[in-house]
Amino acid sequence: MILPDYCGYGQLFAFSGIDGENSHDDDFAGMLMNDRISVRFDFDDPVTLSVPTDEKIGVVLSDAIKGEDTLIVFVSKDTVAGVSPHRSRIFSERFPQSDDDGDISFISTDGCVFCLYRERDGFVFLRAGNNDDAVAKAKAIIGMDIEALFEERINYFKEKPLCKDPRFEKLYYKCLSVNKVNVYSPQGGIDCRSTTPDRLPHRHVWLWDSMFHAMAISSYDTRLAKESILAVLQCQRDDGFIPHMMESRDKISGITQPQVIAWAALSVYRIDKDRDFLERCAEKIDRFLRWFIDNRDKNRNGLFEWHTDYANTRCRCDESGMDNSPRFDTLETLDAIDSSCFMANDCHALSVIYDELGEKEKSIYFFNLYRETGNLINRLLWDEETGIYCDRDFGGNLTHVMTVSGFLPMFAGACPDSRTEKLRALLTDPEKFATAFPVPSISRDNPLYGGDMWRGCTWLNYNFMIILGLRKYGHYDLAEEIRLKTLRCVDRIFEKTGNIFEFYDAEDKTEPWKLNRKGPQPGIPDYRKKYHSITDYNWTASFLILMIQNDFDRFEI
């Protein structure tokens, strides 16, 4: 078992909801800094734990770091313990010098006390209500067997399925670690565990992210995968709407996200055939898709739109997940190729779910809706001029904007064979979509092509769906080429930075955190000043697990 060993900026360090109670409201989550070993915990006044050492680092996990002489492990949601011959210290940007009393240091901020307690080579760093409580808690922990706790953290990975491709073994375990750190315990009226895109900076639960996480997690923990899906469904409104972001059942956003819940639920069900899980999901997914029919087909033509914020020039379409795509630079409401394909695919998945449950009438209804939507996609959204599917305004005009969403009809199984050949041609054309790190979010010959999120960068959720689509139509060679290129590009950047990123440079030249994210980045990466490509990003880790393990069959409908 080859575990990650790079220690540097951007990696998450926090206590997982898999191991016990944690919190997204006042999360004690840290991020590794460039100085080894240094972890910044970001509150209004960030507090940094630093162990000054140049020793060789052997293991870097999301909750444990081990060097030659130093070991740091998360004990609980508010407590880190360690051993080191190097004198650890704490500091904040507001209080560069802590209140230091020999072997005890305090910093008070954000209504609580951060305490570093040292005894011989051991130390405890924790958060508490006051100084006395902090010292009492630290003394209770200082003598614990840190090595044994570290072995518990390592055993978590030993119990997981072995990596099927030794070329990417270290990357595989890094991805498992990213999955683990981004799990929350039950809270906020959600009575099961949930998953988040990233403990810093996003923190909360997001719709399609949670589905993508569940798809990978189900390969080694079906219970947690089901909880990730059910947590989202618990936040559904009475009218069927499901928010794109949720803190609890009561604190939810006003927009939604792509229709992928049935697809995710079916893929999890195919592992253990848990009929009770399907029954808990089916009716809620049914109401969600019917909400889409009632609220995202304004021109009633059978194709589907997104809510678009035309006033927000940097992020016009959060709801699509493709926030700043040039698709939305027009001020027209669009019949959206992606919304229509996601709807077709999820109707197909829900049809299969209802068939499994013996609900024949409902199964036929959603299968027919899948077929009708697919027919409309082919009749109204195919662009013969560019050889790809694209959006259409309400006046019937195609936008001719070539984006990665134009390949989704293959994923949804709604594409004639003759058109898959044209889509394949685009994927192999270096002037269009055949980049060094495939597949760019817009065509390379678009004047707006560059390194800013959905205006040229590569995203692994779309790569996964394109691979599925190619496999569905028998293009296994190209699907495998894209899979291996994706893994090799990610692995090279992981070995250099220790991170799994939100999105990547399609040209494979620029480190992801130097790419723009809805605007230019500052010189030194710091998400507090400007969000960069998010580090230790959970859906990227999830799709990497599926690609490394060649886990595709159960996602095909």
Q: Is the pLDDT of residue 98 over 80?
A: no
Q: Look at residue 99 in the predicted model and tell me its pLDDT.
A: 66
Residue 438 lies in a domain: no
Residues 6+ apart with CB under 8 A from 289: 259, 262, 343, 346, 347, 350, 366
Who has greater pLDDT, 400 or 101?
400
Residues 6+ apart with CB under 8 A from 206: 196, 197, 244, 245, 246, 257
Residue ranges with strand state E in 479-557: none
Q: Is the pLDDT of residue 529 over 90?
A: no
> Tens digits of per-residue pLDDT, 251-302?
899 999 999 999 999 999 999 999 999 999 999 999 999 999 999 999 999 9
- Kindly report the CA angle at 46 between 497 and 121, in degrees rounded to 5? 75
The torsion angles phi and psi of 424, rounded to 5 degrees, stand at -60, -40
- Kindly report the CA angle at 370 between 367 and 373, in degrees rounded to 5? 150
Q: Look at residue 374 in the predicted model and tell me its pLDDT.
A: 98
Strands 64-67 and 57-60: antiparallel
Quickly state the pLDDT bin for 461 (edges 50, 70, 90): very high
- Percent of the chain's residues with pLDDT above 70: 99
> Could you tell me the CATH number of the domain that includes residue 319?
1.50.10.10
Quickly state the pLDDT bin for 96 (edges 50, 70, 90): low
Q: Is the pLDDT of residue 73 over 90?
A: yes
Say how far apart CA 173 and CA 388 lie, in whole Å. Answer: 37
Check if the beta carbon of residue 215 is closer than 8 Å to that of residue 204: no
Quickly state the pLDDT bin for 95 (edges 50, 70, 90): low
Residue 443 lies in a domain: no
DSSP secondary structure of 506-520 = TTS-S-GGGSBSSSP
Say how far apart CA 26 and CA 110 lie, in whole Å. Answer: 10
Domain end position, chosen among 112, 140, 158: 158
Question: What angle in degrees, to the nearest 10, is found between the helix axes of 476-497 and 417-427?
Answer: 30
Residues 6+ apart with CB under 8 A from 499: 10, 11, 493, 512, 513, 535, 536
Rg, C-alpha atoms of the chain:
24
Query: How many CB atoms lie under 10 A from the CB of residue 98?
Result: 19
Domain end position, chosen among 407, 422, 437: 422
Q: Look at residue 102 in the predicted model and tell me its pLDDT.
A: 78
The torsion angles phi and psi of 180, rounded to 5 degrees, stand at -65, -45
**Helices and strands of the chain, counted as H and E runs:** 14, 21
Say how far apart CA 455 and CA 515 lie, in whole Å. Answer: 11
> Tens digits of per-residue pLDDT, 145-183?
999 999 999 999 999 999 999 999 999 999 999 999 999
Number of domains in the chain: 2
Q: What's the rounded mean pLDDT across residues 240-248? A: 94
Closest CA to 20 of 215, 223, 180, 225: 180
The parent domain of residue 341 ranges over 296-422
Residue 335 lies in a domain: yes
- Does the predicted model carry a pTM greater than 0.95? yes
Q: Look at residue 120 in the predicted model and tell me its pLDDT.
A: 87
Q: What's the rounded mean pLDDT across residues 82-96? A: 86
**C-alpha of 302 from chain center:** 30
> Tens digits of per-residue pLDDT, 483-503?
999 999 999 999 999 999 999
Name the helix (H) or strand (E) containing 289: helix 275-295
Say how far apart CA 371 and CA 149 lie, in whole Å. Answer: 54
Bridge partners of 115, per DSSP, are 106, 126
Say how far apart CA 58 and CA 330 lie, in whole Å. Answer: 51
Residue 167 lies in a domain: no
Domain end position, chosen among 422, 457, 485: 422
Say how far apart CA 5 and CA 159 lie, in whole Å. Answer: 20
DSSP secondary structure of 174-224 = HHHHHHHHTEE-SBTTB-S-EE-S-TTTT-SEEHHHHHHHHHHHTTT-HHH
Q: Look at residue 312 in the predicted model and tell me its pLDDT.
A: 81
Residue 249 lies in a domain: no
Residue 51 lies in a domain: yes
Q: What's the rounded mean pLDDT across residues 462-479? A: 98
Say how far apart CA 535 and CA 39 lie, in whole Å. Answer: 14
- Percent of the chain's residues with pLDDT above 90: 87
Say how far apart CA 167 and CA 160 lie, in whole Å. Answer: 18
Quickly state the pLDDT bin for 35 (edges 50, 70, 90): confident
What number of residues does the chain have? 557
Outline where 498-553 has alpha helix (H). 538-548
Q: What's the rounded mean pLDDT across residues 550-557? A: 97
Q: Look at residue 97 in the predicted model and tell me its pLDDT.
A: 60
Q: Look at residue 315 in the predicted model and tell me its pLDDT.
A: 83
Q: Look at residue 524 in the predicted model and tell me its pLDDT.
A: 83
Residue 101 lies in a domain: yes
Q: Look at residue 447 in the predicted model and tell me its pLDDT.
A: 97
Residue 508 lies in a domain: no
Q: Is the pLDDT of residue 110 over 80?
A: no
Say how far apart CA 321 and CA 306 lie, in whole Å. Answer: 10
The torsion angles phi and psi of 190, rounded to 5 degrees, stand at -90, 115
- 99-101 β-sheet, strand order: 57-60, 64-67, 71-76, 79-83, 122-128, 112-119, 104-109, 99-101
Q: Look at residue 26 in the predicted model and tell me its pLDDT.
A: 81
Residue 518 tokens, joined: 């809805």
Strands 38-41 and 30-32: antiparallel
